[in-house]
Structure 1
């Protein structure tokens, strides 16, 4: 890249982090193109609500056009700031919400909850032709003139001054750029399922499961996460976002009409605590197994698990990235799960990716404006990202290990602490002020 030329940035991957980065660069006038493996912009009609903490909200506010950020604010909020802890007998341990733990904050510096689908569509709304679909990256080459060429599965390629690997936990960019950066099994395995919500099935389900996410804390050895997923609809006040380049603002309403809401659950335990060879079990056998493992739990939880459709039951081994030391900077860098993939047990992965996007955007804009050499800007980003990103990885792994701990004494103490905090609101505010933050 010549000294008087703004860089062209290639982003491999159209997930939350990659799209947020593209929005920020586009907003700042830096040339950017996103190459996404999905064939169409509406392919990812899946996933449950995700928690956006104040750090993530600030990143979105800085990266998105104002109308798109307001669409995020309006679309978020249902059950957004609540999280509960219960025993396996549905005895209440602790209820958290932002008002109870933090008090009122301004609009930007708050916790939100939003459908992953809706957030992705808001992130796509202003990008239009910036995003190209059916472009799965397979690798890249560093060119003699200092630029980088990305190669895609369809035989095409693209040349830019910077390549950002935002292509998730199985990143092809990371595999080539940092082959020593591993993603490994934690020894924890979840079996997950979905309870489809209809007018009739809602009446069979405990209202608590429909209100907000819950963590179930049995005496030892396992845990369960529960989250309702109601699909957001585009708000008519923001139907105009998307500019004049033909980009639709959000997923069409008809798509939501064909998408059934559900309550998601995931039972977690150490691999050795399950009976038999898990990978050899089909969905029916996995479902029967979790029914047996939760046989002594409260009827409400038994209904949730037993009433889920067997074809939704999935085995999910929990993986985590292995921290790596600072590497030599080039014009190929990484963002989000592509470098610091973490367990889902703290619910902060999306927020760390948004933090990456905001920081990298700021550094690339500085380089584009001639305030800093390009490689120095990327180096600064990587140095900071490695520190906070892998700290989040370690914290998430600790939370995962605590969830499946066999230490019954420690679990009993934890449940008592939760009950005491719930009974003393000032203590709860003090103890859980940073809940949900990296």
Structure 2
């Protein structure tokens, strides 16, 4: 059976789906609001690809393109450090203790991942075409309206257009979002010896989480790419990675070089009015310094070395539970269906799993094994279940529950949490149990 799929949004999930459909010979067109693949809004922050995400990419991408993805990731992490705001160790988790030794855990720049996912399908992407609405046709198909051109008609519209999805608003007008009560500020600094010396884990290659006494949290990631500043593969990388990069046309256009990214998450009450939507990088860096007053001086020096143009702020929200609906020619994928806090690193990976699950069912439609409505309904039923778990666990890890407690209760809660982390750090069996709990939403094969 031949049919056309229209994807609203050229984000991680939408492009992964488009890759899988193109590989399967299914007609696909992607409508994207950005003016081009390297639009200014795509700041290239790090995204962690979990085993769920890696399996989805492996299923949807051609083998040679999956090899490019692996080569485009940063050097693997050695460990995850959890510490106080003064850099005192609470708990360290070696990645070697992760299920599978952490081999399916990858670090990639969002800008780089988009370059990879665009490889070979640029002709399917229409840039500068924000989807504004759609109409259901009497023949069961759907006509999509988008700025910058004529309407597009297809057999299935996939709303992969982010947390503010116009497709979602039309499709599920009652499905909203709830604030977590938290706001994050993020920034980036070039990675060099001086920046490395300012990190909580020093020259240990990895990521760190900092928990302060007031309910705030910090995070730092190190990204060492497999190419140098001139985008030439570094000497000494694996031969397979070097070969994949030499043959990848996207490398020359990728702006990513080695960097440190960091973030600070604090209660909404610690942000002045209007700051949550500010685009003034200098003001954001100044406020990040203010809300981390009392932290290790090295942290503040890292903030001072950060590029103001990289600074962003995010009002952290989460999707309300999705209602059930009758399957039809419109469905949702990624943040359009299930926005979640970033604490568990499950958002992009759940979107990638969506792409895999939907693509596999659409291939069965192509082969005459399923009807289109049956395939979409099966995907939606499964997606609602696993995304609800991801949203719930992400919200449990990152919410403003501490804000409702007084200063004494908050201090006691922080002390208890820190004592628990130190105990887990000393007892291997507890550490293994914690790792398994951490990975539940990142690796569905553990559930």
**Shared topology, TM-score over 0.5?**
yes
TM-score, normalised to structure 2, is: 0.85
| C-alpha distance in 2 between matches for 1:46 and 1:313 | 9
Report the CA distance between 1:252 and its aligned residue.
Answer: 1.1
160, 163, 166: which one pairs with 2:154? 160
CA contact under 8 A between 2:182 and 2:316: conserved in structure 1?
Answer: yes
2:115 corresponds to 1:121: yes
Q: Match for residue 92 of structure 1? A: 89
138, 145, 151: which one pairs with 1:151? 145
CA RMSD of aligned residues (A): 2.7
Report the CA distance between 1:386 and its aligned residue.
Answer: 0.9
| C-alpha distance in 2 between matches for 1:115 and 1:66 | 20
Q: Count residues in correspondence.
A: 421
Alignment of 1:48-87 (within 5 A): 48-80=45-77, 82-87=79-84
| C-alpha distance in 1 between matches for 2:429 and 2:121 | 45
Report the CA distance between 1:197 and its aligned residue.
Answer: 4.0
Alignment of 1:353-372 (within 5 A): 353-372=351-370
| C-alpha distance in 2 between matches for 1:338 and 1:141 | 18
Q: Match for residue 238 of structure 2? A: none
Q: Deviations over 1:133-191 (max 9, x none)?
A: 22211111112221111111113221111110111111111111111111232221123
Q: Match for residue 206 of structure 1? A: 199
TM-score, normalised to structure 1, is: 0.87
| C-alpha distance in 2 between matches for 1:249 and 1:391 | 38
Report the CA distance between 1:338 and its aligned residue.
Answer: 0.8
| C-alpha distance in 1 between matches for 2:50 and 2:3 | 31
Q: Match for residue 314 of structure 2? A: 316
274, 279, 290: which one pairs with 2:288? 290
Q: Match for residue 244 of structure 1? A: none
CA contact under 8 A between 2:10 and 2:161: conserved in structure 1?
Answer: yes
Segment drifting more, 329-338 vs 115-124: 115-124
Report the CA distance between 1:357 and its aligned residue.
Answer: 0.6
Segment drifting more, 134-143 vs 308-317: 308-317
Instruction: Give secondary structure in 1 for the equivalent of 2:195.
Output: helix
CA contact under 8 A between 2:131 and 2:146: conserved in structure 1?
Answer: yes
| C-alpha distance in 2 between matches for 1:162 and 1:67 | 28
Segment drifting more, 370-379 vs 222-231: 222-231
Instruction: Give secondary structure in 2 for the equivalent of 1:173.
Output: helix
Report the CA distance between 1:314 and its aligned residue.
Answer: 3.4
CA contact under 8 A between 2:29 and 2:125: conserved in structure 1?
Answer: yes
Report the CA distance between 1:284 and its aligned residue.
Answer: 4.4
Q: Match for residue 268 of structure 2? A: 271
Report the CA distance between 1:304 and its aligned residue.
Answer: 1.7
| C-alpha distance in 1 between matches for 2:37 and 2:322 | 34
| Residues 1:275 and 1:174: Cα distance change in structure 2 (over 3 Å) | closer
| Residues 1:198 and 1:404: Cα distance change in structure 2 (over 3 Å) | farther
Q: Match for residue 17 of structure 1? A: 13
Q: Match for residue 40 of structure 1? A: 36
Q: Match for residue 28 of structure 1? A: 24
| Residues 1:277 and 1:123: Cα distance change in structure 2 (over 3 Å) | closer
Give ranges in structure 1 of 5+ residues lacking alignment.
Answer: 242-247
Q: Match for residue 397 of structure 1? A: 395
Q: Match for residue 249 of structure 1? A: 249
| C-alpha distance in 1 between matches for 2:165 and 2:79 | 33
Report the CA distance between 1:231 and its aligned residue.
Answer: 4.9
Report the CA distance between 1:294 and its aligned residue.
Answer: 2.4
Q: Match for residue 434 of structure 2? A: 431
Q: Match for residue 410 of structure 1? A: 413
224, 227, 232: which one pairs with 2:221? 227
Segment drifting more, 20-29 vs 426-435: 426-435
| C-alpha distance in 2 between matches for 1:403 and 1:89 | 23
Q: Match for residue 350 of structure 1? A: 348
| C-alpha distance in 2 between matches for 1:361 and 1:305 | 42
CA contact under 8 A between 1:115 and 1:231: conserved in structure 2?
Answer: no
| Residues 1:158 and 1:97: Cα distance change in structure 2 (over 3 Å) | farther
| C-alpha distance in 1 between matches for 2:66 and 2:400 | 36
| C-alpha distance in 2 between matches for 1:48 and 1:222 | 21
| C-alpha distance in 1 between matches for 2:338 and 2:422 | 34
Report the CA distance between 1:302 and its aligned residue.
Answer: 2.2
| Residues 1:28 and 1:313: Cα distance change in structure 2 (over 3 Å) | closer
Report the CA distance between 1:222 and its aligned residue.
Answer: 1.1
Give ranges in structure 2 of 5+ residues lacking alignment.
Answer: 228-232, 234-240, 442-447
Report the CA distance between 1:228 and its aligned residue.
Answer: 2.9
Q: Deviations over 1:92-126 (max 9, x none)?
A: 12222431233547x6xx22222222222221112
Instruction: Give secondary structure in 1 for the equivalent of 2:436.
Output: coil
| C-alpha distance in 2 between matches for 1:358 and 1:263 | 31
